[in-house]
Structure 1
Amino acid sequence: MIAFRPIEDGEVERLVELWKACDLVRPWNDARRDIDFARGKANSEILIGIEAGEIVSSILVGHDGHRGWFYYLSVAPARQGKGLGRATVSAAETWLKERGVWSVNLMIRTENAAVRDFYAALGYDMRDVIVMGKRDLDR
């Protein structure tokens, strides 16, 4: 049975390894910095799925005061295709609902058709928007 809860001290390196195994880490994103920034805030959290003491899934969930956002959805490669992704998204949706958030957005890399299909099967649809960004505001 899988249980979802916020990540705890001492689990960060195991989570980074999961993200690497799921090909989520990019050179321009410092995974540890992202984890530290999101953990335990009023508007964000990293939820992990634990089964038999092992981190088997995760999602960074948060909101900006208007909409919820998901990042870093991951399921251990050996466990994919067994409903853990769906359960992890559901846990994140519950986290948002508990905070009164009624709408959620997420970004998918253009080349990642499998993830696009996964979210479509969960009722998510494409939006007619352009996402723009700027890295390294501190430089």
Structure 2
Amino acid sequence: MIKIVAYKAEHFDGVKALWETVFPHDPPWNRAENAIPPKLKVQPDLFLVAINQSVVIGTAMAGYDGHRGWLYSIAVDPNHHRRGVGSRLLAFAEAKLTEMGCAKVNLQIRAGNEAVAAFYGHHGYSVEERVSMGKRLGG
């Protein structure tokens, strides 16, 4: 039976292994050891973990700034794809954001990632014409 819970320190190794599998080309700042500590300082209840018999099989990380919600990532172990794990994580994150008063959720995906775009499209997300810009701070 799959449970969705808020991240705890005991999940670190499982999350790290999952992210290395699902996001093998992510930059260093997205690696577990760099991304998790700051997330735990801000809305740690929006960092969700899907557990199957004590094994981490999925994660969702979201945030809310009082104006917009953001879904930063959903990761599901490839051995558990197409079993509803990602959909459950998404629904759980959306419910948590709604409880906080969030009325709109934004997300970004990498261009060309059609499978992920289809997943979100299936759940009611649509492409909004925007230009995404970013800047790394502090180095």
Query: Taking structure 1 as the reference length, what is the TM-score of the superposition?
Result: 0.91
Q: Give the alignment of 1:10-89 within 5 angstroms.
A: 10-23=10-23, 26-31=26-31, 32-39=33-40, 41-42=42-43, 45-89=46-90
* Higher share of residues assigned helix: 2
Contact 2:59–2:74, Cα closer than 8 Å, also in 1: yes
Tell me which amino acid in the other structure corresponds to 2:14.
Answer: R
Specify whether residues 42 and 72 from structure 1 end up closer, same or farther in structure 2 by C-alpha distance, changes over 3 A only.
Answer: closer
Residue type at the aligned position of 1:18: L
Q: Percent identity?
A: 30
- 2:6 alignment counterpart: 6
Shifted more, 70-79 versus 41-50: the winner is: 41-50
Helix, strand or coil at the partner of 1:94: helix
Corresponding residue of 1:92: 93
Cα deviation for residue 30 of structure 1 reads 3.9
Change (3 A) 1:20 1:63: same
- CA contact 1:43–1:62 (8 Å) conserved in 2: no
Which string of whole-angstrom CA distances, capped at 9 and with x for unpartnered residues, describes residues 77-98 of structure 1?
1000111111110010011011
User: CA distance change for structure 1 residues 102 and 64 in 2, over 3 Å: closer, same or farther?
Assistant: same
**TM-score (norm. length: structure 2):** 0.91
1:64 CA displacement:
1.8
- Aligned to 2:20, what secondary structure does the other structure show? helix
RMSD across aligned C-alpha pairs, in angstroms?
1.7
1:133 is paired with a residue of what secondary structure?
Answer: coil
Whether 2:108 is the aligned partner of 1:104: answer no
1:113 maps to what in 2?
114
